[in-house]
Structure 1
């Protein structure tokens, strides 16, 4: 009994470490893509980033003897997943390119709230009034951050909300994805979706292709590597520790995102941002706690 308790505690500690590492890497990826977007059109960044990631995951699948083009790829959940991934990635990258990294990162933390609501609405999962109340409070936190009635309101802040909704839809669709598709295959199609997002955004943005510089290539290449490592770390976290123990550490991304926004891009946080952030994180942690109690 004692040995099992120590083993579980160690596994949860290691899993939590992997989760924190994943969130730090994702935040760095966002910062690098924001930097690249200052020199290149957003659509070009999306296509280059998606291509790099797709090549890496395709190579991993090939080395492991897997199949990229399994018939289940054409299943309805996968089609839905790709659509949400396209719009989530497109809107979120535009958000971090045109708005403060810190605010976009904070809004992204509302994704689990929308996932829980979606699971209740579309999968029939039981969500009591307490968790519904927490979801509402968390979404109020999002509204506080974007300040729709304030003088400082910018329509661009809606981009991060749209990106967050896209990621929530992707996560919900992933729950219904066929078990025959491994995480590496899902990673490949996730990055393939980013290429599609870039092509779609190009038709709307209309910006011409910019000449690549050594700096922009290095930024995108580093983002691809860190993004791949982040995804791998996330998978290790979920497989090493108990989901209920490691998931709360997802919110460490908020700290990393805010820190990078402040120190790299000179962003400033006001009281409204802190209040909205607190509501989102507190709501998310409460929902996780209630889920464990259920």
Structure 2
């Protein structure tokens, strides 16, 4: 892949990281002002659905969302929505930096699921990285201590596991479906149950809360488009490591907006988790290179 495409890919991924960090901040602000997680989830998916539909209409056209794999999209929507619900509860319960740090365990869970579900070859290098990743989580969470609510840590971990599960599903769906089509069906199908939940959870809010909810939807949709674009422009091994820059934004926004800084344990555990994730991504890149060379030979 040429450099002039890799650099835009990295730029789009870094942009998606910043927008996701702002979305997470809007989630916490909305909850602080009285919005429920159910309402936040609804606006997140509603905004994404509107924006993605607009991009599809302006680009490949609405006929491009036609699919013969609706059951697969339904499964992806169920798993993805569950993961999002856990992740949002983790964001609400934890400081931004800690919630972001625990979210870095996605590659760790993806490695486990890849080995168990897809029967992908996984050597001791990646298993060692998996062990290091979980050690980093223990350092950050400090089970038995009063560092932060274990409920929040559990939700963040469940959200990471769900996100990793989605990545496994997307490997299968992506063989026949485009990224925009997949994002559209995820957003549209999610709105079916979320509309029912929202109808029971809806409540009056002040202008600030409505602005936060609108921000969650708009920012979530923009971030999803930027992330999808980055994967279209560059290889996974190049763009995914950019996600770890989100810890910088989470720390900065947590300090500026909520007057909180990461605890000492987070400064120790976060590098361990980040290192394990980066090593897993690198080993996956090496494995795919070896497979390509063997296929050519």
Shorter-chain-normalised TM-score: which range?
0.7 to 0.9
Distance in 1 between the 2:43 and 2:230 partners? 28
Q: 1:144 to 1:166 in 2, by over 3 A?
A: same
Residues paired across the two proteins, number = 283
1:1-294 equivalences in 2 (<5 Å): 8-39=2-33, 40-63=35-58, 64-68=61-65, 70-75=67-72, 78-152=73-147, 154-156=149-151, 157-177=153-173, 179-192=175-188, 194-195=190-191, 198=194, 209-294=202-287
Q: CA deviation at 1:126?
A: 0.9
On the 8 A contact 1:46/1:195 being kept in 2, the answer is: no
Moved more, 108-117 or 153-162: 153-162
Distance in 1 between the 2:55 and 2:12 partners? 20
On the 8 A contact 1:8/1:241 being kept in 2, the answer is: no
Distance in 2 between the 1:181 and 1:258 partners? 36
Q: CA RMSD in A?
A: 2.4
TM-score, normalising length: structure 1: 0.87
Distance in 1 between the 2:12 and 2:142 partners? 34
On the 8 A contact 2:140/2:266 being kept in 1, the answer is: yes
On the 8 A contact 2:43/2:217 being kept in 1, the answer is: no
Distance in 2 between the 1:172 and 1:20 partners? 23
Q: 1:73 to 1:229 in 2, by over 3 A?
A: same
Q: 1:82 to 1:14 in 2, by over 3 A?
A: same
Q: CA deviation at 1:209?
A: 3.1
Where in structure 2 are there 5+ consecutive unaligned residues?
Answer: 288-297
On the 8 A contact 1:89/1:194 being kept in 2, the answer is: no
Q: 1:160 to 1:293 in 2, by over 3 A?
A: same
Q: 1:82 to 1:232 in 2, by over 3 A?
A: same
Distance in 1 between the 2:190 and 2:269 partners? 29
On the 8 A contact 2:230/2:239 being kept in 1, the answer is: yes
Q: 1:43 to 1:211 in 2, by over 3 A?
A: same
Where in structure 1 are there 5+ consecutive unaligned residues?
Answer: 1-6
Distance in 1 between the 2:148 and 2:30 partners? 26
Q: State the 4+ residue runs in structure 1 displaced beyond 6 angstroms.
A: 199-203
Q: Which residue of 1 aligns with 2:292?
A: none
Distance in 2 between the 1:200 and 1:110 partners? 32
Distance in 1 between the 2:190 and 2:21 partners? 18
Distance in 2 between the 1:106 and 1:290 partners? 21
Distance in 1 between the 2:190 and 2:135 partners? 30
